[in-house]
A and B are shown apart, each in its own frame.
Chain A
Amino acid sequence: MRKQLFNVGAILQGLGITFKYMFAKRPTIEYPSIKKQHAPRFHGLHELRRYADGKERCIGCELCSSACPANAITVIGAENSPDARVSPGERRAASYEIDELRCIFCGLCEEACPTDAIVLTPRFEMADYRRGAFVYSKDRLLVPTDAGVGTPPDERPNGIPADLGRVAEVKSTTNVDRGYSATHRGEVLKTERKGLAG
């Protein structure tokens, strides 16, 4: 008993581990003031994008909702009025809702979308007190009018082109105040702390 109490070697060995981690690089991040860098293809909250001229990319075709394995997406289509088009072509989404509690963030909606309208951003902060608040409709999913990218297909000759499903060189479509910049397949932009603090 006595021998065990004064086993200094063992005490030092144990404390050694403690001291080692005292000087090692800390893995803890001061969330929420600092945020973790995600994997490039992290699947977070959805966003509905626009073309550069402000038109919605979504044409209300419901392919996302048919691809969705969790039945989380509900789209109701409507006819575009020719005078004030909401989206290119004749069809638009009158209502677009995603139940983020049902969503399994698999990204199949993104794969199914023929116009690259629905994308999964790395944004993950969507805690709330009410379940109903997790049903995101167009007012929260759509990017601001000036955050669009790409040329809408009806401005190209002969209506909808063969490369409808491809969108090149998309950088940011959201403002930094919303947290992470939305990205497109591949490149993740690091959040600027300055932007978050301001």
Chain B
Amino acid sequence: MSSAPATSDLVSLTIDGVPLQVRKGTLLVEATKMVKQEIPVYCYHTKLGPAGLCRVCLVEVEGTPKLQIGCNTPVAEGMVVRTRGENVEKGRAMVLELLLVNHPLDCPICDKGGECDLQDYAIAYGRGSSDLADPKTSKPKAVDLGPTIVLDEERCVVCQRCVRFDDLIVGERQLVLKDRGHRNMIATATGDPYRHNFTGNVTELCPVGALTSKTYRFKSRPWDLRRTETSCTQCSVGCRMNIDLRHGNVLRTMSVEGDDAVSDWWLCDRGRYNIGYIDSPERIKQPLLRRDGTFVQIGWDDAFALWAKAIRSAIDAGGPERVAAIGGGRLTNEEAYLLARTMRSLGVKNLDWRAGRQRQATPGSSGGTLLDLERAGAIVTIGESPAELAPVMDLRVRKAVRHGARLIRVAAQEAPPSMPFQDVADVAAAAAAIPANVTRVALIWDGVDNALAHAAFAALSREGRTLLTYIAGEQGNARGAEAMGMLPFAGPGYHVADAGHDFDGICDAALSGKIETLAIFGANPVLNSADGAHVRAALQAIPFLVVTELFMTETAKLASLVLPAAGAFEKSGSMVNLAGDVLPTSAALAPPDGVLGDFEIVVGLARALEIELPDSDEIERATIAAAAALPVGIAFGDERFAGAAKKDLSGEGLRLHVLHHAFAGGGTLAHDERIAALQPEPTAAFAAADADRLGIRAGDRIDLVGAGGTIGDLLAERRDTLAPGNVAFVGLRSGSAANEIAVGSRVRVENIRHSDVPVEA
């Protein structure tokens, strides 16, 4: 909260006879909310500000001859405002009549019908009939704007909320208002499909049914839906989110108005549209045991008994060092806590949540909040930028840049963002690029290279400057998993514990036959780790591998025992987001028959092992305490989190970087055909110098060949911001060989097929 304003900043006025004092510059539409009155609005939106386009917010201000618009009239000393009364009602009724001149009355067909501002206001303030008897204009009804959005031109009331969202919030400026007069319509400026990470928000902003989501069109009416508020677990931002269900199916997700601290009222398309997997028929519904090379269905009791027997015999034979457990980034805090506690009570120390490339999720005591981020004067990103890892956090970065912050990318591999930025080669150059007068600097790291993060922190720290750190990681509850003790060297609340192997160490031990049984909870390291081939070999060397999953992922296919687990919408608990906020998640629906949540799975295992478990109150208390524990003693780029020295990957050829993309990857993304169009085309980007040397033009098709395999049929792209000697690959998906080539290893380009029409890079 900001401090109380000085008296000179306050303005006294009267609204509907109620005297009040508000801050200078407040708009009437916001001031009116304080006296519990409502001014109808279409073009005004709290997060977008006023535009003064629709004129429906007319109010009467004493002393002015005409009605004033409430959305763009700031308060003034001694103002007397009436939001009701004959004049206001007449004015609003006229505006509504004009808005409805060409708006079709097909409310029974319209998806917005039932939650439509035009419908509601027409009933509340409209006349109910019209003097305008001429026929309405006919316009195209279902214009395909892009892979996610359909536009109904007839219904558009030209409030321009979507255009302003694209301009003011996202900064992409793809949507524009085309043509004039009654031919006025929304379109993309270039005519290309409307496509960025936040397109779904325009369907919520649209006050009428003009912009609709392809995934939800005509599936339901708003009054059929049962709503559950939860937190999105698909990335580490943890946006508050409403899940709307009908007949037990997740039909849509909506952002939560008023969630200023985390999501800033927005959702990314990944969080909004990746929901179809929940109802996928491909989900595993029963425990599967590998027997003679094929999976057979078994019951849960047998599964727990077999698993417990494997753990017991491993401990009896060689001690708890031969047992390991991986997971936590996709579990709730409670599940991660119970897993860590159960394992540690057996003496198992080989615990780690880090089954991907990310090494660290807790930014230490310098960690900032998301609100702090938008107030930073300079933002430095090291490693991958948060644009694809944590899209809604990226909106805060864009907001900060719009307010004048300088965005500095260190050794960036990604395509240039659609905002002012500066690329520098190393952290020293980044430190030099920060203007001297900037006192608040945000440092965003992808959590992969600890040495680089440590160096960046040291280089950017300066007397009289606040350095805020953020780690935008791969998995939703990575920070929670660390707080709950799913780390090889720390227990719940970051208390130092006896050190075991981290994931790399577990893999190495497995290859030398020292791991008897490993349990992987909700992770797919074969696809997502830096060296998929190495992980695959290690997991194949483990005699009894248990994987809890929703789908038969690359990792689950290697398991001896696959246990079907509940998805994110099917379990309640809490998570810790990248800024350390503890967020509740609520079960919106029950898991399918035969599927258990990871919590029940750990409980089942503990019972089979005859381990005494704490009662649920104690688990809750311990989880809350651990989640609230301050990350004392953890440095940004802490060397305890750093992995073992990497294999020497130097050699001839280009260095391979595999970049994240909000819709790239396996797991849940591969099971909903409605989001297939959002997945990136597999692309390889080359520095201009490399492209010229190899004779690659933008738009060519190429293959990348590395030590582990071939990534075939990639679209080539030239990227001037990329440093020579590197190739950046985007578009990892299930079944691609990309994960078989170690990230950072050397690849060569083969089989260049020139396209007929060169594409502009």
Find out whether the CB atom of A59 lies under 8 angstroms from the CB atom of B108. Answer: yes
Known contacts A89-B106, A91-B109; A79/B221 CB under 8 A? no
Would you give the shortest CB distance from B473 to chain A, in whole angstroms? Answer: 38
**Interface status of A151 (Cβ within 8 A of chain B):** no
Known contacts A90-B142, A90-B218; A159/B136 CB under 8 A? yes
Find out whether the CB atom of A77 lies under 8 angstroms from the CB atom of B220. Answer: yes
Residue in A90, A115, A157, A162 whose beta carbon sits within 8 Å of that of B141 in the complex: A90
Interface hits, B151-199 → A, CB 8 Å = 154
Find out whether the CB atom of B105 lies under 8 angstroms from the CB atom of A79. Answer: no
Chain A contacts for B105, CB-based, 8 A: 160, 162
A89 vs B109: C-alpha distance when bound (angstroms): 8
**Interface status of A63 (Cβ within 8 A of chain B):** yes
Binary contact readout A108-135 vs B (1 if CB under 8 angstroms, 0 otherwise): 0000001100000000000000000000
Interface hits, A39-79 → B, CB 8 Å = 59-63, 66, 76-79
**Interface status of B3 (Cβ within 8 A of chain A):** no
**Interface status of B621 (Cβ within 8 A of chain A):** no
A82 vs B219: C-alpha distance when bound (angstroms): 17
Binary contact readout B215-248 vs A (1 if CB under 8 angstroms, 0 otherwise): 0011111011000000000000000000000000
A79 vs B106: C-alpha distance when bound (angstroms): 15
Number of A residues, CB within 8 Å of B = 22
Chain A contacts for B218, CB-based, 8 A: 60, 77-79, 90-92
Residue in B136, B142, B221 whose beta carbon sits within 8 Å of that of A158 in the complex: B136
Chain A contacts for B138, CB-based, 8 A: 158-159
A62 vs B218: C-alpha distance when bound (angstroms): 11
Would you give the shortest CB distance from A57 to chain B, in whole angstroms? Answer: 12
Chain B contacts for A160, CB-based, 8 A: 104-106
A-B contact count (CB 8 A): 48
The closest CB in chain B to the CB of A113 belongs to B108
Chain B contacts for A162, CB-based, 8 A: 105
Chain B contacts for A159, CB-based, 8 A: 104, 106, 136, 138, 154
**Interface status of B135 (Cβ within 8 A of chain A):** yes
Find out whether the CB atom of A62 lies under 8 angstroms from the CB atom of B224. Answer: yes
A191 vs B224: C-alpha distance when bound (angstroms): 40
A114 vs B108: C-alpha distance when bound (angstroms): 8
Find out whether the CB atom of B108 lies under 8 angstroms from the CB atom of A63. Answer: yes
Binary contact readout B86-118 vs A (1 if CB under 8 angstroms, 0 otherwise): 000000000000000000111011000100000
A60 vs B108: C-alpha distance when bound (angstroms): 8
Known contacts A77-B219, A77-B220, A158-B136; A59/B109 CB under 8 A? yes
Chain B contacts for A63, CB-based, 8 A: 108
The closest CB in chain A to the CB of B214 belongs to A79
Number of B residues, CB within 8 Å of A = 19
Chain B contacts for A90, CB-based, 8 A: 109, 141-142, 218
Chain B contacts for A114, CB-based, 8 A: 108
Chain A contacts for B217, CB-based, 8 A: 79
Binary contact readout B562-587 vs A (1 if CB under 8 angstroms, 0 otherwise): 00000000000000000000000000
Would you give the shortest CB distance from A18 to chain B, in whole angstroms? Answer: 61
Would you give the shortest CB distance from B87 to chain A, in whole angstroms? Answer: 30
Chain B contacts for A157, CB-based, 8 A: 135
A38 vs B108: C-alpha distance when bound (angstroms): 33
The closest CB in chain A to the CB of B154 belongs to A159
Residue in A66, A79, A82, A91 whose beta carbon sits within 8 Å of that of B223 in the complex: A66
A119 vs B135: C-alpha distance when bound (angstroms): 30
The closest CB in chain B to the CB of A89 belongs to B109
A185 vs B220: C-alpha distance when bound (angstroms): 30
A76 vs B141: C-alpha distance when bound (angstroms): 21
A30 vs B321: C-alpha distance when bound (angstroms): 88
The closest CB in chain A to the CB of B139 belongs to A159
Find out whether the CB atom of A61 lies under 8 angstroms from the CB atom of B224. Answer: no
Chain A contacts for B142, CB-based, 8 A: 82, 90
Chain B contacts for A158, CB-based, 8 A: 135-136, 138
Would you give the shortest CB distance from B116 to chain A, in whole angstroms? Answer: 13
A79 vs B109: C-alpha distance when bound (angstroms): 10
Find out whether the CB atom of A61 lies under 8 angstroms from the CB atom of B108. Answer: yes
Would you give the shortest CB distance from A89 to chain B, in whole angstroms? Answer: 5
Chain A contacts for B221, CB-based, 8 A: 61-62, 66, 77
Would you give the shortest CB distance from A9 to chain B, in whole angstroms? Answer: 73
Would you give the shortest CB distance from B554 to chain A, in whole angstroms? Answer: 35
A76 vs B246: C-alpha distance when bound (angstroms): 10
Chain B contacts for A76, CB-based, 8 A: 219-220
A59 vs B109: C-alpha distance when bound (angstroms): 7
Chain A contacts for B141, CB-based, 8 A: 90
A40 vs B451: C-alpha distance when bound (angstroms): 87
Chain B contacts for A78, CB-based, 8 A: 218-219
Would you give the shortest CB distance from A92 to chain B, in whole angstroms? Answer: 8
Would you give the shortest CB distance from A93 to chain B, in whole angstroms? Answer: 10
A89 vs B106: C-alpha distance when bound (angstroms): 9
A59 vs B221: C-alpha distance when bound (angstroms): 12
Chain B contacts for A79, CB-based, 8 A: 217-218
Chain B contacts for A62, CB-based, 8 A: 221, 224
The closest CB in chain A to the CB of B133 belongs to A162
Would you give the shortest CB distance from B37 to chain A, in whole angstroms? Answer: 30
A115 vs B223: C-alpha distance when bound (angstroms): 20
A194 vs B224: C-alpha distance when bound (angstroms): 46
A114 vs B154: C-alpha distance when bound (angstroms): 20
A56 vs B219: C-alpha distance when bound (angstroms): 18
Binary contact readout A138-160 vs B (1 if CB under 8 angstroms, 0 otherwise): 00000000000000000001111
Chain B contacts for A115, CB-based, 8 A: 108
Would you give the shortest CB distance from B692 to chain A, in whole angstroms? Answer: 47
Binary contact readout B407-425 vs A (1 if CB under 8 angstroms, 0 otherwise): 0000000000000000000
Would you give the shortest CB distance from A196 to chain B, in whole angstroms? Answer: 38
Would you give the shortest CB distance from B279 to chain A, in whole angstroms? Answer: 14
Binary contact readout B678-701 vs A (1 if CB under 8 angstroms, 0 otherwise): 000000000000000000000000
A91 vs B212: C-alpha distance when bound (angstroms): 13
Chain A contacts for B220, CB-based, 8 A: 76-77
Would you give the shortest CB distance from B275 to chain A, in whole angstroms? Answer: 18
Would you give the shortest CB distance from A155 to chain B, in whole angstroms? Answer: 13
The closest CB in chain B to the CB of A61 belongs to B108
Chain B contacts for A61, CB-based, 8 A: 108-109, 113, 221
A62 vs B217: C-alpha distance when bound (angstroms): 14
Would you give the shortest CB distance from A188 to chain B, in whole angstroms? Answer: 29
Chain A contacts for B108, CB-based, 8 A: 59, 61, 63, 91, 114-115
A100 vs B668: C-alpha distance when bound (angstroms): 40
What are 23 A-B pairs at a CB distance below 8 A? A59-B109, A60-B218, A61-B108, A61-B109, A61-B113, A61-B221, A62-B221, A62-B224, A66-B221, A66-B223, A77-B220, A78-B218, A89-B109, A90-B109, A90-B141, A90-B142, A91-B218, A157-B135, A158-B136, A159-B104, A159-B106, A159-B138, A160-B106
Interface residues of B (CB under 8 A from A): 104-106, 108-109, 113, 135-136, 138, 141-142, 154, 217-221, 223-224
Leading 10 A-B pairs by shortest Cβ distance: A61-B108, A158-B135, A91-B109, A77-B218, A79-B218, A91-B218, A62-B221, A114-B108, A89-B109, A160-B106
- Other 8 A-B pairs with CB < 8 A, given A91-B218, A159-B154: A61-B113, A62-B224, A90-B109, A90-B141, A90-B142, A115-B108, A159-B104, A160-B104
